[in-house]
Amino acid sequence: MTATSSRNPQGARPVVPGAGLLRPLTLAEVGVRDGFWGRRQKVNGEVTLDHALSWMERVGWVDNFRAVAAGRMRGERGGREFSDSEIYKLMEAMAWEVGRSRNVQTEAALRALTSTVGAAQGPDGYLNTAFGQPGQPARYSDLEWGHELYCYGHLIQAGVARARVTGADELVEIARRAADHVCREFGPGANEGMCGHPEIEMALVELARLTGEARYLDQAAVFVQRRGHQRLADIPLGRAYFQDDVPVRAATVLRGHAVRALYLASGAVDVAVETGDAGLLAAVERQWEATVARRTYLTGGMGSHHEGEAFGDDFVLPPDRAYSETCAAVASVMLSWRLLLATGNPRYADLIERTLYNVLATSTAPDGRAFFYTNTLYRRHAGPVPPAAEMNPRPESGLRAPWFAVSCCPTNIARLFASLAGYLATADDTGIQLHQYASCDIHTRLGDGATVGLAMRTGYPDHAAVSVEVTESRGQPWSLSLRVPGWADSGAILVDPTGARRPVGAGTVTVTHRFAVGDRVSLELPIRARWVRPDPRIDAIRGTVAVERGPLVLCLESVDLPAGRHVGEVRVDASTDPTEANGQVRVTGELVKVSDEPWPYAGTDHDTVSSTPERVEVPLLPYYAWATRGPSTMRVWLPEHTRTNKKETGSKE
């Protein structure tokens, strides 16, 4: 099985655009070694996939398919109306994992699931266990909430992954039958509706890319075009929830339900790229820019509100009520990756990096058996430990939970982690572009057919040095590009094959050279703890600072404070740089007790500091590593111990 076998001509990679600046590499072309991501991929493949499957068997989500196939489904069923999609996302993850690891048990499990799912498909291609059976609502009777097309989207993505990794098989056929059914049912002149939850758009484009059949692309374009014209109901959350308030082409920012918004934008990019619709592509680029400038958390997380799982208004980014859903982070990576391939702009890779290290690495527990669904930036209460044997009824949990009543996130992460090698590097006619730093081996062909190989070695994100050694090259000139992250704007040093060192700013740095085997390009990044301040328009964190180190956002966790103290009692001194010793970042500040008053608003300044302020030096840890030492409170944005009171204000005049 190779990346260019006749059975999978596109190669095993998540997105295969027909146009664009950069060509994504396949899982066969990029081999991730042990390291930050390699370890997580291994846990994902060896633990999380089984974990997800056993939960879904246990709670009846797989059995729904068996019940439909056996004609014994009678209305009531286990799981929410979209639970089928969890099976499909797991199948997609398994398909990628087979490409990554050749795990034969995963292959067998995927085949078994494929049979189970396929048996539930109707002769006309319809496939959903929540609609159309006796006692269930009729097919397509609830487009706002029914998620039928959304589920097809995930089924089709699983089929596309399978085809790209392994070649056509039963899963691919199931997906095609479903897609054909959708084109018949929702094509022009038929049902002119669309799904409340975007997702099928990008799936249909990917299927068009796989099969070369334009009707799938046309249908995707129709779905993108239909949205924003108030076809869906005006629900209490408003039509923005579904992105049905403004056409994609006219929108200026992402809004409403974050996962819906990001999936839709991803699908719109796919449509734009395949149809050469520069206006549509530019519209999504503008939306991305506005969203990143005004509606994104320091972690890269998106979604400010629990209500509606939604983006907030500009600069509404409360840390404590951050929703920052794990699925939104997955979707954000999908969107940024598509935009990166289309445009080559390294800012998209910057956001991918931030999101990977600070949301996606955070969500999954080190053992791969528990997850955060929401990723708050300020945990005010040491939450109870979620029971190991029960589904978490709510998206929020104090510690990572093994499964959720709505369990979209674990399978979404699983499919991303399994295919992560596909997001690290690209090629074009002139060379290779490295977008993310991880120890890996890369072998590919350039536009002229020349094979080239690279060995990237790094202790990133903990360590500053990235070394890239050429392992294959015919000595012709070609270009190696590296992304210098936005956070490393001052202080990054590039060492080229001649040994010359030069400072490089944020963006893309390219070395063009007649590379020989053994040639080396190194990047030294200024990885040290640094203070970060928010835009003053983000009201919810006015007067606070955070610490980053390399691509990592750090946080303060109560288990590192004196017993009984709460992270809310720390005021830091940001006039002093954080210190680092033995891999431990520390900041200085004060522990304060605010006096309790019967009414929390007063004409004079509050007594914010205890009479003998307690100077402390507190350790910070990477945000991704919090909540692994039992229940705790945690905070990313730390108030400065500067007080504003009348006296001090006056003295500045």
Of 79-138, binders to its own copies (CB under 8 A) are: none
The answer to whether 238 contacts its own copies (rule: CB under 8 A) is yes
Residues 6+ apart with CB under 8 A from 68: 120, 129, 133
Site for its own copies in 335-354 (CB under 8 A): 347
Site for its own copies in 467-496 (CB under 8 A): 486
The answer to whether 502 contacts its own copies (rule: CB under 8 A) is no
Closest-CA residue to 265 (of 224, 301, 237): 224
The answer to whether 615 contacts its own copies (rule: CB under 8 A) is no
The answer to whether 14 contacts its own copies (rule: CB under 8 A) is no
- Write down the least CB distance from residue 78 to its own copies, Å: 16
Among 518, 536, 562, 630, binds its own copies (CB under 8 A): 536
Spatial strand order of the sheet with 520-524 comes to 30-32, 440-445, 451-458, 465-472, 520-524, 492-495, 501-504
Nearer to its own copies, 57 or 320 (CB): 320
Closest-CA residue to 269 (of 355, 188, 201): 201
Closest-CA residue to 426 (of 489, 342, 519, 504): 342
- Write down the least CB distance from residue 585 to its own copies, Å: 15
- Write down the least CB distance from residue 469 to its own copies, Å: 32
Query: 557: helix, coil or strand?
Result: strand
- Write down the least CB distance from residue 651 to its own copies, Å: 9
The answer to whether 315 contacts its own copies (rule: CB under 8 A) is yes
- Write down the least CB distance from residue 192 to its own copies, Å: 23
Closest-CA residue to 635 (of 200, 299, 155, 305): 299
Nearer to its own copies, 400 or 641 (CB): 641
Query: 234: helix, coil or strand?
Result: coil
Among 574, 591, 616, 627, binds its own copies (CB under 8 A): 574
- Fill in the amino acid letter for 377: L
The answer to whether 47 contacts its own copies (rule: CB under 8 A) is no
Q: Residues 126-130: contacts with CB within 8 Å, 24+ apart?
A: 126/178, 126/181, 127/84, 127/151, 127/152, 127/155, 127/174, 127/177, 127/178, 128/84, 129/64, 129/65, 129/67, 129/68, 129/73, 129/77, 129/83, 129/84, 130/64, 130/77, 130/81, 130/82, 130/83, 130/84
Nearer to its own copies, 206 or 245 (CB): 245
570, two tokens: 């720390």
The answer to whether 530 contacts its own copies (rule: CB under 8 A) is yes
Which of the ranges 267-275, 468-476, 536-544, 580-588 carries the binding residues for its own copies, by CB under 8 A? 536-544
Partner residues linked to 554 by β-bridges:
622
Query: 545: helix, coil or strand?
Result: strand
The answer to whether 222 contacts its own copies (rule: CB under 8 A) is no
The answer to whether 528 contacts its own copies (rule: CB under 8 A) is no
- What does the alpha-carbon distance between residue 602 and residue 546 come to, in Å, rounded to a whole number? 28
Nearer to its own copies, 490 or 498 (CB): 490
Nearer to its own copies, 14 or 300 (CB): 300
- Fill in the amino acid letter for 519: D
Confirm if 392 and 403 have CB atoms less than 8 A apart: yes
Give the torsion sign (CA, 29, 34, 37, 40).
Answer: positive
Residue listed under structure tokens 């400072």: 503
| Site residue total, its own copies (CB under 8 A) | 76
The answer to whether 218 contacts its own copies (rule: CB under 8 A) is no
Among 531, 559, 610, 614, binds its own copies (CB under 8 A): 531
CA dist list (Å): 492 to 169, 298, 485, 579: 48, 21, 9, 20
Nearer to its own copies, 68 or 322 (CB): 322
Determine the Cα angle at 447 with ends 442 and 449, to 5°: 75
The answer to whether 189 contacts its own copies (rule: CB under 8 A) is no
Site for its own copies in 266-305 (CB under 8 A): 289, 292-294, 296, 298, 305
- Write down the least CB distance from residue 601 to its own copies, Å: 5
Which of the ranges 89-97, 124-132, 260-268, 592-600 carries the binding residues for its own copies, by CB under 8 A? 592-600
- Write down the least CB distance from residue 546 to its own copies, Å: 7
Confirm if 511 and 500 have CB atoms less than 8 A apart: no
DSSP letter for each residue of 442-500:
EEEE-TTS-EEEEEEEE-TTTSSEEEEEEEE--S-EEEEEEEE-GGGTTTEEEE-TT--
The answer to whether 53 contacts its own copies (rule: CB under 8 A) is no
The answer to whether 145 contacts its own copies (rule: CB under 8 A) is no
The answer to whether 601 contacts its own copies (rule: CB under 8 A) is yes
Q: Dihedrals φ, ψ of 138, to 5°? A: -70, 155
- Write down the least CB distance from residue 507 to its own copies, Å: 12
- Write down the least CB distance from residue 380 to its own copies, Å: 5
Nearer to its own copies, 537 or 629 (CB): 537
Nearer to its own copies, 389 or 500 (CB): 389
Which of the ranges 49-57, 131-139, 443-451, 566-574 carries the binding residues for its own copies, by CB under 8 A? 566-574
Provide the pairing of β-strand 477-484 with 431-434. Answer: parallel
The answer to whether 398 contacts its own copies (rule: CB under 8 A) is no
